[in-house]
Amino acid sequence: MFSISSGWLTQAEQLPSSYFAARELGDDINLLVIHNISLPAGEFGGHCISDLFLGKLDCSAHASFAGLAGVEVSAHCLIRRDGHVIQYVSFEDKAWHAGVSSFKKRERCNDYSIGIELEGTDEIPYTAEQYQQLIALTLCLQNKYPAIIMDNIVGHCDIAPVRKTDPGPVFDWQYFRQCLTEQATRNNT
Alpha-carbon span 27 to 22, nearest angstrom: 10
Does residue 117 have an active-site annotation?
A: yes
Q: Among 43, 92, 107, 117, which one carries the catalytic annotation?
A: 117
**86, 98, 106: which is closest to 20 by C-alpha?**
98
- 20-22 vs 106-107, strand pairing mode: unpaired
**139, 123, 137: which is closest to 171 by C-alpha?**
123
Q: What are phi and psi of 26, to 5 degrees?
A: 95, -5
25 DSSP assignment: T
Which residues are catalytic, by number? 117
